[in-house]
Amino acid sequence: MASLGRRQLLHGVAATAALLAVGRPVQAQVQDAARAGMARAAAAFIAALEPRQRQTAVFPFGQDERMNWHYVPRARAGLPFKDMSPAARTAGHELMKASLSGVGYAKAANVVKLEEVLRQLETFGGLLRDPDKYYVTVFGAPEAAAPWAWRVEGHHLSLNFTLVPGRPVAVTPAFFGANPAEVRSGAHRGLRALADEQDLAVALLRGLDASLRGRLVIAAESLGDIVSGPGRGESLKTPAGVALGELGGEQRALAIRLIEVYARNMRSELAEEELRRLRETGVDRVHFAWAGPIDPRQPHYYRLHGPTLLIEYDNSQNQANHVHSVWHDPRNDFGADPLRAHYERRHHRGAVGS
């Protein structure tokens, strides 16, 4: 990868994208446009790096590091923005914009901005806060002929994209956090990076009748954090709470809007594919569960759990002013499902030709 020049990278992406579009259904071509845009942006990012930086930023697709996600301040693989040239930094942000919606990109930027707030608020730990310590990592070569992936990650942000030939782009796990959840002083006073994630859930819960609310609350106190964190993606297998099919029309619509808040952080084509899969498997099979008081000023937690999604939101720390939220596809984190199909298809073709 280090020996490839910018022109070679971009030419390869354009050629493979053109081949994919021939004879494909409209929906598939829409997905192809998204993956081609992401591939162009990733290739431009790699081309903007110095050779030594490429060795830091680019890993083989099959390396275990691809699944090594987290949301705490820690040492990370990849290349931090602080070590990038202005051109590479711009290219890194363009890669984010090619993968996220405008809302999602702004949300990620606000998460990063909160590092500046924490630097001012924390007497000792503030020295560790750095809005430039967010890392971009590419796994494999950005092209349509083979699987590849990319990640941007730092404190309270982990966004993971996996692209497999002929399959929808996998966009989970996707983690957004916010500390403080509401900035109460200083230049960014009033900033709520994850406002809709809280406000819609509270409105949904308060609009339910007492009998449904009693079944929906699974614990009197918040769970203290998300359950399906790094290394625990399969820790929640059985949905809890109340199925959306049991809700009235207004509350069911609120629940769907809440799900869309998470999905529409992604580029529109990617979000629509996720929502289409949700509709096909049955929105009414998704369960909503809550833990803690029905008071956003007190520690609280909620979960949306169905066949194609697991969303968790926790606001327990710092007197309910510190949010962790994660979106998983239980069958498709890191592209597990399309990768399985991809390698099975390759194995079958090899067996036929041998």
Q: What is the pLDDT of residues 275-294, one digit of tens each?
A: 999 999 999 999 999 999 99
Q: Which of 352, 177, 208 is nearest to 290 (CA)?
A: 208
Of the listed ranges 47-56, 192-201, 335-344, the one predicted with least confidence? 335-344
| Span 153-189, pLDDT tens digits | 999 999 999 999 989 999 999 999 999 999 999 999 9
C-alpha distances (whole Å) from 246 to each of 59, 197, 283, 284 are 46, 22, 11, 8
Q: What is the pTM of this model?
A: 0.88
Q: Which of 180, 76, 171, 178 is nearest to 121 (CA)?
A: 180
Q: Which residue has the higher pLDDT, 130 or 345?
A: 130
Is the pLDDT at 125 greater than 70? The verdict is no
Of the listed ranges 9-18, 92-101, 281-290, 337-346, the one predicted with least confidence? 9-18
CA distance 337 to 305: 18
Amino acid, res. 265? N
Q: What percent of the chain has pLDDT over 70?
A: 86
Q: Which residue has the higher pLDDT, 297 or 127?
A: 297
